[in-house]
Amino acid sequence: MSASEQDLQAELEKLRSENAALKKGTTVGTTMKVSDKGALSVYGMGRFPVTLYKEQWLKLMDMSEQIKAFIVANDAKLKTKD
């Protein structure tokens, strides 16, 4: 293997390692932060954060039992994200 091939191979391994680390980081769990506009953003549920204002989160949490019942009632129609 020539020097340039070795450099390319080393760079490829470095990128693979970085990619694996980034993928691993996304499965760590959910995190939260306050957005620039004062909303609550929840990260780690999908590709993009779920961002709602305080009153929207509170309303959604008040509906938690209804949401659970809806999921149970519509289980056959709903897909899961792996």
Sequence ranges of the domains in the chain? 3-73
Mean pLDDT, to the nearest integer, of 68-78? 97
Mean pLDDT, to the nearest integer, of 45-70? 96
Q: Report pLDDT digits (tens) over 18-27.
A: 887 777 655 5
Cβ neighbours for 32, distance < 8 A, ≥ 6 positions apart: 40, 41, 42, 43
Give percent of the chain with pLDDT exceeding 90.
Answer: 56
Confidence at 68, pLDDT banded by 50, 70, 90: very high
What integer best gives the mean pLDDT of the chain?
89
